[in-house]
Amino acid sequence: MPERKPAAIVTVGSELVEGLRLDTNTREIALALSSAGFWVKEAVSVGDDIELLAGTLSRLIGRYELVVGTGGLGPTHDDITREAAAMALDLELLPDEAIAERLATIASRHVRTRAADQIGLQALILAGATVLHPDSGTAPGQIVQTPRGRLVLLPGPPHEMRPMLEEFLDSGSDGVAPRILSCVGMSESDAQLAAQEGIGDAAVSLTVLATPALVDVVLIDDGAGERILAEVASRVRAALGDRCFAEDGRSLPQVVLSLARDRGITLATAESCTGGLVAAALTDISGASDTFLGGVVAYANTIKTSLLAVPDALLREYGAVSEPIAAAMATGVRDVTGAELGVSVTGVAGPAGGTADRPVGMVYFGVADSRGVLSERRDLFGDRPGIRTRACVTALDMARRRLLER
């Protein structure tokens, strides 16, 4: 198998380094490059400083076979990537007549003459560069040869960047896409050790990415090839066990909805401490309406009794954060919505409200269907957002497991 070629990514914009906007391009580009046979060894964000950017580009193109930059190709005063690249490569910027003609129509819509002139700056192309024409937006991308390989300049907005990146990579690649095995309820260390058992001595690299209650095990071809990587992924999934819910990039809510759809089962949620996070996670998925009927945020006990028919006597005896109440909420939301499967959450998210008997992080979950009701206690950790996120994931996973039994 061919050795993966080293690459680097540069995202340009003061809004990124100053925290005003989140950089999502690096992740998307890195995954795409990995699938195309490149090994991203460095990623850097640079503010709108032309000398700093020129120096950064000069260093990277002297070290890597491929450097991909995004941002700074627009028409405003802080779009300095073209000029910085010209400085780094000691190349001229030359006007492209076809691009200039297209931009002239766009420039005519501007009232200020200077604004129209700035639009035209996007027609400046590095001498000898190949142009990547935009599907949307106004800024073209550019591919230029460097002493070691290529520099690819792409616009910053993801919807403009993405088709140009695909066009560049479609010109030919011999890479193998990484396998991502998504797991729930595992620590990073446990996932890493289980994955290493499956990898053995295969030429496959491992990365473990964790968020609250979720872990992605990323298997990267390091010379093994498609067939061996697939075999490794199968072994790793077996080692991870039923904690692994997907190896095709689907999220946990997507998996839950897919399982319900395949089985013809409708869902409903009853939430207290999560305040609707479970319902929101499900309805974030397009097409959820054919499976998810709705949810009740029963934060106050009066709502638990009036909307979910939780007996007041049960609340007085056991308290709102308890196994019987979780079971009653799951049954109640199933009854009130007509859903086949009801899922409930009630707990103490903190930081206030905890007691010796009901400490912060104590959360009860319930799932109810035609076969009966199952309720469980989990002791979750973290701050308030962390506990609520972990509770949301746990509720979804309980629904997934219940659906797998059907």
* SS3 state of residue 267: strand
Q: How far apart (Å, rounded) are the C-alpha atoms in residues 266 and 284?
A: 16
What is the dotted CATH code of the domain comprising 252-404?
Answer: 3.90.950.20
Q: How is residue 143 written in tokens?
A: 């591919």
End-to-end CA distance of the chain: 43
- Position 315 scores a pLDDT of 97
Q: Which of 281, 277, 307, 289 minimizes the C-alpha distance to 388? A: 277
- Position 113 scores a pLDDT of 58
pTM of the model: 0.77
Q: How is residue 250 written in tokens?
A: 């689907």
Characterize 223-259 residue by residue with b for buried, 16 or more Cβ atoms within 10 angstroms of its Cβ, and e for exposed: ebeeebbeebbebbbebbeebbbbbeebbbbbbbbbb
Q: How far apart (Å, rounded) are the C-alpha atoms in residues 304 and 315?
A: 9
- Position 35 scores a pLDDT of 79
Q: Which of 367, 371, 370 minimizes the C-alpha distance to 394? A: 367
- Position 110 scores a pLDDT of 56
CB-based contacts of 348, cutoff 8 Å, min separation 6: 273, 321, 354, 358, 359, 360, 361, 362, 363
Strands 179-184 and 93-95: unpaired
CB-based contacts of 185, cutoff 8 Å, min separation 6: 213, 243, 393, 394, 397
Q: How far apart (Å, rounded) are the C-alpha atoms in residues 42 and 78?
A: 24
Q: How far apart (Å, rounded) are the C-alpha atoms in residues 401 and 244?
A: 11
Q: Which of 147, 134, 176 minimizes the C-alpha distance to 4? A: 176
- Angle formed by the axes of helices 301-308 and 323-337, nearest 10°: 40
- Position 1 scores a pLDDT of 45
- Position 334 scores a pLDDT of 98
Q: Which of 218, 175, 182 minimizes the C-alpha distance to 199? A: 218
Instruction: Check residue 137 and report its DSSP letter.
Output: S
Cβ(297)–Cβ(344) under 8 Å?
A: no
Mean pLDDT per segment of 10 residues, for the chain of length 406 residues?
82 95 93 86 97 98 97 90 97 90 69 62 92 88 95 96 92 72 95 95 91 93 90 96 94 98 98 98 97 98 98 97 98 98 98 94 98 97 96 98 96
* SS3 state of residue 329: helix
What is the dotted CATH code of the domain comprising 5-170?
Answer: 3.40.980.10
* Residue 212: burial class (beta carbons within 10 Å; 0-12, 13-18, 19+): middle
Domain ranges of the chain: 5-170, 179-246, 252-404
The gap from C-alpha 49 to its chain's centroid, in whole angstroms, comes to 29
Q: Which amino acid appears at position 157 of this protein?
A: P
Residue 351, CB half-sphere, CA atoms under 13 Å: how many?
2
* SS3 state of residue 242: helix
Q: How is domain 179-246 classified at the CATH fold level?
A: Alpha-Beta Plaits (3.30.70)
pLDDT 10s digits, 142-155: 999 999 999 999 99
Q: How is residue 209 written in tokens?
A: 């990415």
* Site of tokens 């479970």: 278
